[in-house]
Amino acid sequence: MTNGIKGVDGMSPQLNGVWTIDPLQDARWPEFVARHPNATVFHTRGWLKALQATYGYEPIAFTTSAPSDGLNNAVVCCAVRSWLTGHRLVSLPFSDHCEPLVEHPEVLELLCAHLGSLLNQGAYKYIEVRSADPAMNGISGFTEAETYALHRLDLRPALDVLYGKLHKDCIQRKIRRAERASLEYVTGRSLELLRDLYGLLQLTRARHHVPPQPFAWFHHLVDCLGEAVSIHVVYQDGRPLAGMLTLRHGKTMVYKYGGSDAAFHHLGCMPFVFWQVIKHAKETGAEVLDLGRSDLDNPGLIAFKDRWSSDRIPLVTWRMPAVPASAFAEGMTRQYAKRMMGYLPEPVLALAGRLLYRHMG
């Protein structure tokens, strides 16, 4: 490999006007992500390094920009190689969304056609792009596989204006309840804070019968993303009650993970930590709080995010080739698997997470 450029299946690094680059090695990548208006924390080297360090995924980006030119466009993916779920290109694993960083529709069509050519070579089972950009609609070969809700909160209004828009009973009342309980809010990136948050994440995942992601994933996020990561935990008498992990890129803060101890929900600890994060985001100059994606079959989570007066838009997972008729059966299999998880003790759930998540990206 030279200057971050690598060949495709042993061919020339340029194929049909498209170059394949390694975003972890190409010197142009950090500046490109820093200036592109549609780039998010999921495009950054830190996120890509954490994916590689934890799960062994290989980051790959496709561009029409030659190595000697400035980087003007890219679609970034990870090669997920799994004997259990098949080899595929995903943009990007464990990322709520990852927009193609492309300005012109004809360039997007060219890059997607190149992805299709890789599929035709038999190297991958399918290719997946997670995007809220309507430009993906109509791209040859891609069809909608799944649709989610994506919430974003505009942080530019004054804090009292934001507070006034919150649901009075479900949010404002609970924030006041938490303030009367004198909960302590702590933010930082220490290992102790991370361990407290992880314990809350384990409790939440167990309630939903879902294995927790391995602790190494969160440790790598802190190591690889540095100051772009913030951990937020609220305590009562030294006991962690609720917490969140947020990511920062430019003027956008992303709520990525959250967990709580259900025994203390009556104190309003989760709305309280959300409100502290909003204040922290505004104090540090953020203008948008990305509340992440929600499954459409999780109306409770969608309603919770709606009550913060956030904007909701569709988020689509696009797949090539088209989703087969067996997709319904695959969905039913996931539902049955979730039910089975409900009977597993927490240590077994944790082991399942360490073994399975690398196959799930």
Q: Which domains does the chain have, with CATH numbers?
A: 14-141 (3.40.630.30), 151-314 (3.40.630.30)
What single-letter amino acid sits at 52?
A: Q
Q: What pLDDT is stored for residue 330 in this prediction?
A: 44
Q: What pLDDT is stored for residue 133 in this prediction?
A: 86
pTM: 0.90
Asked if residues 160 and 106 have their Cβ atoms less than 8 Å apart, the reply is no
Asked if residues 66 and 19 have their Cβ atoms less than 8 Å apart, the reply is yes
Q: What pLDDT is stored for residue 120 in this prediction?
A: 85
Give the DSSP H or E segment for 125: none
Q: What pLDDT is stored for residue 360 in this prediction?
A: 75
Query: What are the two backbone dihedrals, phi and then psi, of residue 87, each rounded to the nearest 5 degrees?
Result: -80, 135
Per-residue pLDDT of the chain (361 residues; tens, 9 = 90+): 333 334 433 333 567 789 999 999 999 999 999 999 999 999 999 999 999 999 999 999 999 999 999 999 999 999 998 877 788 999 999 999 999 999 999 999 999 999 999 888 888 899 999 999 888 888 989 999 999 999 999 999 999 999 999 999 999 999 999 999 999 999 999 999 999 999 999 999 989 888 889 999 999 999 999 999 999 999 999 999 999 999 999 999 999 999 999 999 999 999 999 999 999 999 999 999 999 999 999 999 999 999 999 999 999 999 999 765 444 444 444 444 444 554 566 666 666 666 677 777 6
Q: What pLDDT is stored for residue 345 in this prediction?
A: 64
Give the DSSP H or E segment for 320: strand 311-320
Task: Tell me whether residue 339 is exposed, middle or buried, using C-beta atoms within 10 angstroms of its C-beta: 0 to 12, 13 to 18, 19 or more.
Answer: exposed
- Contact partners, residue 329, CB within 8 Å, separation at least 6: none
